[in-house]
Chains A and B, each alone.
Chain A
Amino acid sequence: MKVNRSTVLQILFVVALAAVLAGMANTAHDNLVRQGIATGFDFLGDRTGWDVSASILPHAASDPYWWTFVIGLSNTIALSITCIVLATAAGLVLALMGAGRSRILRGFTQLYISMFRNIPLIVQVFFWYHLTRQLPPVRQAVEFLGCCYASNRGIYIPRLGLDADFNLEFTLPRLQGFNFVDGAYVSPEFMALAVALVAYNVAFVAEIVNSGIRSVPRNQREAARIIGLSDARTFWQITVPQAIRVAVPPLINQYISLTKSSSLAIAIGYTDLFSVGILAINHTGQSFNVVAVLMLVYLVISLGISALGNAYNRSVTARGMR
């Protein structure tokens, strides 16, 4: 059997790399033990003793660390999905406005993109968060639409859900004690983050979709016109299907980037995965292990989005040329 020299070199390289990494991990572990710093993953089963701000899942100070990580993850996912959906929808609208014939709309699109794309995201997060502070305190909440309330503690809206016996129930928010009870509630931290992430990412999504549309050769449109297709049909049946193929891969990257940047949540007290991690580091001191958990989970999320996106990309590619 003839062994390729480059294969051997590659194997050697991988083995050497693995050895270096293992050596580093070992040294780190030894140093931690010498400094008397706790290591290992046992802390995941320990009671945290502290509570998180808000979650769709039940939570209490008596929860173990692993459950608190799950709560952080659920908040990250809730925020990311909301933002991906809204940013995509708004980005498409903005891209269509930019591709249209109206000069005013095109100008607006350009202005929007250059403005929101060029201000650091963290600055935008703080801007929107401080704007929510301008709302009145909860006891002077503004009522709107006859059912909803806005205060600097969030937006309170009616809730359609299941009660303890799994019967459908409809509840309206009402002020009781220190807060509104019943109904559903969106915290100002979530709102500020969602608005900031959407506003920022819309600019990128619009640019990506725009470049997709521009990538379709002009003669395709001319050919469509020659065979008598209307402008609308040309756009939806000739331009869009080809534009999607160009736009989907960078869009996936944008979604991954959005999800990763949701970790800015810690700046304004929204308990996402990253802020749970930072709190856990501070309370347990096990920075290596906590960071390992964070890296693994973010990696899985990013690869998951990537896999979904690629699957979609394959399905649209299959319909056209391959």
Chain B
Amino acid sequence: MKTLTKKTTTQQPALERARRRAAALALGCIGLIGATAASAAPSPTIDAIVKRGELLCSGATVNSHGFQAVDARGVWSGLDVDICKALAISILGSEKKMKLVPVSFVQRFPALQGSQIDIIVKSTAWNLTRNTDLGFMFSTPYLFTGAAIMVYKSLGVTKGTDLDGATICTSAGTTLEKATADFFIKHNKKYKLLSFDSAIERDQAYLARRCDAIVNAVEQLSAVRTFSAPNAADHVILPDSLGKEVQAAVVRQGDDKFLNVVNWTIFALIEAEELGITAANVTAKKSDPDPRVQKLLGVLPGVGKKLGLRETWAYEVIKQLGNYGEIYSRNLGANSALKIDPRYNKPWFKGGVMYAPSFD
């Protein structure tokens, strides 16, 4: 018996080595095939999107005004929806070739892992755990915001630390739960958390005063106040910041080309705002002498070939949706019911942090 165990232990490394060598050889072969295939086939995700003629984007099960909301005619709109549309235009040429697969906040990550959707664009904050443990990659951020607290004015609360012992409503399984915990731990105050899977239940619980306060990104709090509350003036968003919420699109790891297309689609929206290109003037801008404008709009070739897309993809995106500033204004800003100040989401030269790399 003793010799037998000895034998197997000495045999194992040799076996293991042989197995590894075989595996490495196989991997090498696959790598070679992959390398030759790569130039023809851009990426597995883009291949699948082109084949089905449709981009599958994370939809919603309930309205989140300004981000993903449906109107009486059944048409979805919002910042998140527009980012999905922009991507559909980049890859397939039309905003109509985008399908919103309804998923709740809790379902969105398993849905992406299980390939039921190609991408998550759903008020999702970029953090370390999601980036590493969940096996995801985040795009360049398309919204910089922060979590905040909203209360009834009649509560007489002026700052977050006044809420010692209060009950807080928020969304289950989100970064907001952690931001809330961190805030109350930092200030050594007690609180009771009530987390809801459904956004409607969460908002209704707050409005019925089941909770003293509600925690969410500033834009979403504005939406609750504007669209769900009987009287918007009854509510006040407290000045405390409960941490940064950097919202970005989410894709599966291992498809760099797809991530590039997502990133540069967002950059194109930002670049267009910086260059003053709008949906209205984009066609006229094609004859603009500025080489930066010509590069972005595909007059000088490059933007298409480098990403494996049509040369005019950025032109088409701007033509159909407008630049980032227009998209923001229409969904969250001055031209929307929410009238939120873009703050950090202005271009860098206007005091914001929206900054795109060069399209050279």
Residues of A within 8 A of B (CB): 32, 34-38, 49-54, 61-62, 133, 137-138, 152-153, 176-179, 181, 188, 266-269, 271, 275, 278-279, 281-287
Q: Is the CB of B212 within 8 A of A279?
A: no
Knowing A50-B193, A266-B197 are in contact, say whether A282-B210 is a contact too (CB < 8 A): no
Check if A49 sits within 8 Å of B193, measured CB to CB: no
Check if A50 sits within 8 Å of B135, measured CB to CB: no
In chain B, what residue has the closest Cβ to A139?
A: B209
15 A-B pairs besides A36-B132, A38-B133, A278-B173 with CB distance below 8 A are A36-B135, A37-B113, A51-B193, A61-B178, A133-B205, A181-B165, A269-B205, A279-B173, A279-B195, A281-B106, A282-B172, A282-B173, A282-B174, A284-B129, A287-B113
**Alpha-carbon distance between A54 and B211 when the two chains are bound, in angstroms:** 13
**Which residues from chain B contact A269 at a C-beta distance below 8 Å?**
172, 194-197, 201, 205
Instruction: Tell me if B26 is interfacial: C-beta within 8 Å of chain A.
Output: no
A278 contact set on B, CB distance < 8 A: 106, 172-173, 197
Residues of A within 8 A of B49 (CB): none
CA A235 to CA B283, docked complex, whole Å: 91
Q: Which of A53, A282, A286 contacts B193 (CB 8 A)?
A: A53
Partner of A53, one of B106, B194, B209: B194
Q: Which residues of B contact A179 (CB under 8 A)?
A: 165-167, 192
Task: Please give the distance in Å from A137's CB to the nearest CB on chain B.
Answer: 4
B185 part of interface (Cβ distance < 8 Å) = yes
Chain A: CB-nearest residue to B176: A50
B163 within 8 A of A: yes
Q: From A36, A269, A279, name the one whose CB has the most chain B CB atoms within 10 angstroms.
A: A269
- What residues of A have a CB within 8 angstroms of the CB of B197 in the complex? 266-267, 269, 275, 278
Shortest Cβ distance from residue A30 to the other chain B in the assembled complex, whole angstroms: 11
* A37 near B134: Cβ-Cβ < 8 Å: yes
What chain A residues lie within 8 Å of B132 (beta carbons)?
36, 38
Q: Kindly state whether residue B204 has any CB partner on chain A within 8 Å.
A: yes
Minimum distance in angstroms from B308 CB to a CB of chain A: 23
| CB-based contact B110/A281 at 8 Å | yes
CB pairs A–B below 8 angstroms (25 shown): A34-B254, A50-B177, A50-B180, A51-B177, A51-B181, A51-B193, A53-B192, A133-B205, A133-B208, A138-B209, A153-B209, A178-B165, A178-B166, A266-B172, A269-B172, A275-B172, A281-B110, A281-B173, A282-B172, A283-B129, A283-B173, A283-B178, A284-B129, A285-B130, A287-B110
Instruction: Determine how close the nearest CB of chain A comes to the CB of B228; give it in whole angstroms.
Output: 14
Residue of A nearest to B252 (CB): A35
Which B residues are closer than 8 A to A by beta carbons? 105-106, 109-110, 113, 129-130, 132-135, 163-167, 172-174, 177-178, 180-182, 185, 191-198, 201, 204-205, 208-210, 212, 252-254
Q: Which residue of B lies closest to A269 (CB)?
A: B196
Question: Taking CB as reference atom, which chain A residue is nearest B177?
Answer: A50
Q: How far is the CA of A32 from the CA of B164 in the complex (A)?
A: 42
Which residues of B are found within 8 Å of A133, using beta-carbon distances?
Answer: 204-205, 208, 210
Bound Cα distance from A62 to B186, whole angstroms: 12
Q: Are A37 and B133 in contact (CB under 8 A)?
A: yes
CB–CB A285/B178 < 8 A: no
Partner of A282, one of B106, B164, B166: B106
Q: Kindly list chain A residues whose C-beta atoms are within 8 Å of the C-beta of B135.
A: 32, 35-38, 285
Distance A181 CA – B197 CA, assembled complex (angstroms): 28
Nearest residue in B to A283 (C-beta to C-beta)?
Answer: B173
Contacts of B174 in A (CB 8 A): 282
Q: How far is the CA of A35 from the CA of B135 in the complex (A)?
A: 6
Cα–Cα distance between A275 and B171 once the two chains are bound (Å): 12
Known: A178-B212, A278-B172. A54 touches B192 (CB 8 A): yes
Bound complex: CA A285 to CA B210 (Å): 30
Instruction: With both chains docked as a complex, state the minimum distance between the C-beta of B200 and any C-beta of chain A, in angstroms.
Output: 11
10 tightest A-B CB contacts, nearest first: A282-B173, A285-B134, A61-B181, A137-B209, A37-B135, A36-B135, A50-B177, A38-B133, A178-B166, A49-B178
Which partner residue on chain B sits nearest A138 by CB separation? B209
Nearest-Cβ distance from residue A284 to partner chain B, whole angstroms? 6
Contacts A36-B253, A51-B181, A279-B173: A137 and B208 contacting too (C-beta < 8 A)?
A: yes
CB neighbours of A37 from chain B (8 A)? 113, 133-135
Least Cβ distance of A66 to chain B in Å?
Answer: 17
Closest to A33 in B: B135
- Complex contact B133–A35 (CB within 8 A): no
Residues of B within 8 A of A283 (CB): 129, 173, 178
* Closest-CB distance, B138 to chain A (whole angstroms): 13
Partner of B181, one of A32, A36, A50, A282: A50
Q: A152-B209, A287-B110 are in contact. Are A35 and B177 (CB under 8 A)?
A: no
Asked whether, in the complex, the Cβ of B208 is within 8 Å of the Cβ of A152, the reply is: yes
Residues of A within 8 A of B167 (CB): 153, 178-179
Least CB distance from B286 to A in Å reads: 42
Alpha-carbon gap, A34 to B23, bound state (A): 14
Report the Cα distance A287→B109, complex, angstroms. Answer: 10
Select B210's contact among A188, A271, A284, A286, beta carbons within 8 Å. A188
- Which residue of chain A has the shortest Cβ distance to B155 in the bound complex? A178
- Residues on A with C-beta less than 8 A from B110 are 281, 287
* Min CB–CB distance A272 → chain B (angstroms): 12
Complex: chain B residue closest to A284, CB-CB: B133
Smallest Cβ-Cβ distance to B166: which chain A residue: A178
A173 and B134 alpha carbons, distance in the complex (Å): 44
Cα distance A53–B163 when bound, in Å?
Answer: 16
CA distance A177 to B191 in the complex (A): 12
- How far, in Å, is A203 (CB) from chain B's closest CB? 26
B209, A279: Cβ atoms closer than 8 Å: no
Bound CA–CA A271/B193 (angstroms) = 10
Residue of B106, B129, B209 with highest tally of chain A CB at under 10 A: B209
| Alpha-carbon distance between A2 and B192 when the two chains are bound, in angstroms | 68
In the complex, which of the residues B113, B166, B193 has the most CB atoms of chain A within 10 Å of its own CB atom?
B193
Chain B residues whose CB sits within 8 angstroms of the CB of A275 once the complex forms: 172, 197
